[in-house]
Structure 1
Amino acid sequence: MKRTRFTEEQIIGVLKEAEAGAKTAELARKHGISEATLYNWKAKYGGLEVSEAKRLRALEDENAKLKRLLADAMLDNAGLKDLLFKKMVTPAAKREAVAHLQALLDVSERRACRVIAADRSVVRYASRRDDDAGLREKLRDLAHQRRRFGYRRLHILLRRDGVTINRKKTQRLYHEEGLTVRRRKGRKRAVGCRAPAPVPALPNQRWSLDFVHDQMATGRRFRVLNVVDDVTRECLAAVPDTSISGKRVVRELTDLIARRGKPGMIVSDNGTELTSNAVLEWCGAAKIEWHYTTPGKPTQNAFVESFNGRMRDELLNETLFTSLAHAREKIAAWVDDYNTGRPHSALGYATPAAFAADLRKQGAASLRIAGGYATQPLASPALSRNNDAEALIATG
């Protein structure tokens, strides 16, 4: 009976018989193999012991396995290079990529999904939605008639025509049809006052606002809304969050005014949050003058810009934040130290809290001397302790 497979022990045994003097033809006939097979065994296993032959067989198996893995990896890399410049974010894009790999590399669906890290259930999903062809055509017609209308206004027009549709579905169809309105250049922004704002010499007369950005250890970015008193250099608020809108700015300022009182003026740049309708309406309702600096002139908002530089140098660049709660804790502790413990060179190396307390005492004394009436002098707060004529002229 012909043997289809021989173990190493059996092969070495046959070769031992050949070495003992047995003829090749007789050995081949005895073991049911061809003479060519016997010669191949001699070339491969000649002079080896059983243990060495087993080791050789194991090395061959491992080598074959590594070759298969290398071939699979090279095939996967070839498929990924072909998809290098294609975005595979949406389920539709992933289905298209899987189909492309199957056609290009002639691989199975399971392997194609593994290459692009896609779930097979996503690839096999068949949508049960209606095609909404009539609704899409009607939406396109309305969009061509009202070229500057967004999906909200188009949704109202559809409802007027008797179409029962959810606003979110209108938005989805609107984006799928590529009807997004392009924003025109030269959008008008809130201009505000462009004249240089004077620096008063009393606390709580002018505040400065600005944002500073950083990111956590996870890579998620967050921003901090900083509010600084330009006279005392105190940090009145440092609000960290992942997103701070104009409404959030208004809410934080309202809480700050409830604790500290209304400022005479607020200074900021022309950021979208600070020029939003919510901020402009709040300024009119609260009767607070809001001064916007000239675009490209950060020196006009130098007090808060300097504070941002100190915060970045002393806190943000030195601390690795693990979460938003950790960032809030560290920033609150640093702000407290900045106000009450950190000497400020512009204040004669006094702390902002101590300098503010001193200014309040000076203001109360001047009110008593003037009989209950006092004007608000315009001077640099750093020189409030040296009010000679030369210093006042130098600071304007």
Structure 2
Amino acid sequence: MKRARFTEEQIIAVLKEHEAGAKTADLARKHGVSEATIYNWKSKFGGMEVSEAKRLKAVEDENTKLKKLLAEQMLDAAALRELLSKKLVGPAAKRAAVAHLKAVMGLSERRACTIVGADRTMIRYSSSRPPDAVLRGRLRDLAHERRRFGYRRLFVLLRREGEPSGINRIYRLYREEGLIVRKRRARRKAVGTRAPILVEARPNARWSLDFVHDQFANGRCFRILNIVDDVTKECLGAIPDTSISGRRVARELTTIVAWRGKPSLIVSDNGTELSCNAMLAWCKETDIDWHFIAPGKPMQNGFVESFNGRMRDELLNETLFFDLDDARTKIAAWVADYNGERPHSSLQYLTPAAYAATLTATDARLRNPDQLRRSPVASPAPQGVQNPETLTAAG
């Protein structure tokens, strides 16, 4: 603030001379001020003594300070209202908040940092980390190709291609690129505790069957018969058709048994296609045990239900089918990718085919003690992913 040329004592002395009879023009000429200034002094300090003038000046200064504090508080409140919709968690969010206050409200960097609660050195920090443009581009391509894959499966796919980065770096880039998969809410959850179903750790120990429904682009419905090996998690068959009878199920199972071998047990629900006379006769002819779950308890057939969920999430909800031939082609391609390329989380991110080969090789080594001493149980997994247990109980 500009310093005044005259103090209160000097102004009151000039006014005393005016009251004593001195002319206004003479006083203005004598003290080097205009006549208007003399009249302004008179309106403000007329009839006052020096002590009263000093007291008035102190009150004015105090009011000026209070107004300034009130203005600052109102400015801070307005700035905080601007940031109500922003979560100030982490340096990046605080940098964005400070930039927003500077751009919208015209605040200084120091003032904005005080309001946000950030250090100015952190706000001014610029990362020297390389941009990783090639890795980011490949990560985006994989995520767009497999839109329902999380960062763990994408990490396994990148590691297969020879990418040496660790899983933490992939996760950071995955978040920065905004590739997080939106979780679909389940309609209901199982209540209570369930005992695990112990199954021998070998292929064909138990199969599971179930149907999945979908529709073509023209609105016509069709269904898919899914057959899954509960131990290796392989999809042995995914047969789409507009109608699948019990005799059709028996024919498809006969075809699969011819190249896969007989299972020890098959589990399914109580659908009419699976509990008809044709299926009962097929079980008697092939001498295969068939177990029906309790009515209304799909959690008892959890392996194929889990597979159905993955199929619906990654294929049916993401693909448009135009006719039956188109559905057969796309479903067959997805099943081949599921068995041979897609990392499976319950198998420690091995593919079902690779895990089945591991079980088969382990079974051969267990039967040959000399070979068991010469070779390891399983090949090492990528960094960040643990090796699967070779012999475990499925369930």
TM-score where L is the length of structure 1:
0.45
